[in-house]
Structure 1
Amino acid sequence: MEYKRAQELLNKYLEGNCSPEEIDLVESWYLKETDRPPALQTEPDYSALGKNIWKDIQQENTKTRKLVPFYKWAAAAAILFILGAGLYYMTNIRTAPVQSVEHFAQNDIAPGGNKAFLTLANGKRIALDDAGNGKIADQTGVSISKTADGKLVYTVSDALKSNQKNSRTANFNTIETPKGGQYQVDLPDGTKVWLNAGSSLRYLAQFAAAKREVELKGEAYFEVAKRTVDGKRLPFIVKTNIQEVEVLGTHFNINSYEDEGNTKTTLLEGSVAVHPVLTNGTIVPGRTIKPGEQSTLNASVLKVATVDTEQVLAWKEGFFMFDDENLQSIMYQVARWYDVEVEFKESGLKTKEFSGTVSRFGNVSQVLKKIELTGSVHFKIEGRRIVVMK
């Protein structure tokens, strides 16, 4: 990689203007370079270097008044350091102990992709990744099609639309993504839903005239279509096991994985009301959240805080993104996307916190290697099990 071209690419990376392919290029090159054994004849003062880099970053951020996520600065600073000074150190070779990465190369695991199962009202179950493109089913005036880019689309016939007020047909469908799967579905009302791995959405193939309601397990991002009946906006309700979210027309993300212990609702656009649901089914008046806010519901306690929405939606854009996130939470995400089991050799490792970003479309070794670069944790891949140790 020529130095001038690398500088131009890194500037785009810092500014957030890289294409997904360019991001992969930068990060893959960085991982390749960091796999080389240390070749330092004179040990540099890493502490001083780190302080100077951080000082420059702070000054640049103050000058430009532009919020740039730290992970981008950290990765780019590391690469620039390798480009500028690395050749000197690499040509002055002194063999040093280095951790082998053969356990990654021999047992690497490929990422997930567009995989899901659709269960129709009559009980028929369709593997969407095996189904051909085009129409895959019809349900009383509703056509269900699969597009070439891996999306499920519902189309309501004109005759059914004109008679929608009188229709009472309850054809429930369920779309489920397995571990290692994700999928997008366009619901009959035009609402777009992106499902993360290990999630399911239950909904009517044709919504009733007075109410739109879906049931979610796992994580999904919604872009709710605005609909009106007799001049009034038609509510859209998302139910999980512990809450109801009432929507009028908005963009938001809900994370309701049961193994994570709480449910998080993050609003990007519009307005939603989050209501806790007690174990006896009672709906408790909750809170209305604003764009940029996230509600967290745990044991009927609802809290609201401002969050980085870019981080929350990283999964939808094809990234893992962590900001002082504990390792247990990180490995939950890794386990779902790569369809693996995770074993911690020591429980104390679960609370260690990490920050950074990495593509979801590389092998699992790319994620593990980035975390290992911190020097505080080590991974071993055994079949479809990842062992976490000191």
Structure 2
Amino acid sequence: MSTKRIPHWADVTLVPLLSVFLAFVISAVLIWAIGESPWEAVKLMVDGAFGSSYGWGYTLYYATNFMFTGLAVAVAFQARLFNIGGEGQAALGGLGVALVCLYIPWPHWTLALLGASLGAAAFGALWAFIPGYLQAKRGSHIVITTIMFNFIAASFLNYMLVSFLRPQGSQDPSSPRFPDATTLPKLHEILGLFGIPFSKVPPVNISLLIATALCFAVWWMLWRTRLGYQIRAFGESEPAAKYAGISPARITIIVMLISGGLAGLMALNNVMGEQERLVLNAVEGAGFIGIAVALMGRNHPFGVFLAAILFGFLYQGGAELALWTGIPRELIVVIQALVILFTGALDNMVRIPIAKLFAIRRTG
């Protein structure tokens, strides 16, 4: 049964919603099996993530990370390139942010933000350029090279922190704190300008606005520019793209540069915005979560935005569950994994029955 018979609206809304619903049903069964109330768990998750400005702040902070990495995966996948190196690219983006913030005397956070953005994007793009070049020129598979580069990035970052950036006498593998002039405005400060009260505790900051703007910018690039058309044409059919004069090697390298730059920009949120220093495990798996975000969002920037909010909810709501109930933290991870499983690996389990239902409706 061809899934092309599914209407576009059903593909982008019905399929992911049903996938998430099935994941939540199985999660509810698991919660019930350990003696907890699924309904109370859902209420606690929703209230913890959306019931206060405190919860909203952490939900949006996590969502900001996932927007950057989700967009990185989505852009690459438009060219049928599976970039799973977002973890390493985001880590190297953090190194770019740290070097810019520590060694350039910025007079104001606006200029520091511009410089850090360039540093983060450049380091992330460079780390993605190498696998892109190897695929374009040497035929190396992008999946293998990007996942291997995650491990190389982690080792390289550890070396840089321990050998060069760590303050003398410190045992913590982290950089010094960034100067005060590089401190980014938090969301409560931005909303305060308009008289809107918001919790001061969550680390959500102006990077949220940057990530949101990038969702629109990436959409415009992919669907309103010549380069975007070439990327999508190459992704649909490489032979047809070559016949039309589109260079596969050029598109592969450009797409990976854009993808790596987007992943690297995540460091604005977690390194510059939250930690205000570079720590060893600053990315915390957001590079891999970006894959699930892109899959759930159907590799569309607006879908990535919505999927990032969902995963921000899962992270913040899951933290509340682990704190206030007897549900083990490991089960929280299982719930998050179920959402990833159903929206990614088991996508066709939902898609094929829906396609059959639409086919029956047409013939009925």
TM-score, normalised by the number of residues in structure 1 = 0.23
Looking at secondary structure, tell me which structure has more strand per residue: 1
TM-score, normalised by the number of residues in structure 2 = 0.24
Looking at secondary structure, tell me which structure has more helix per residue: 2
Structure showing greater Rg: 1
* Greater relative contact order (Cα < 8 A, sep 6+): 2
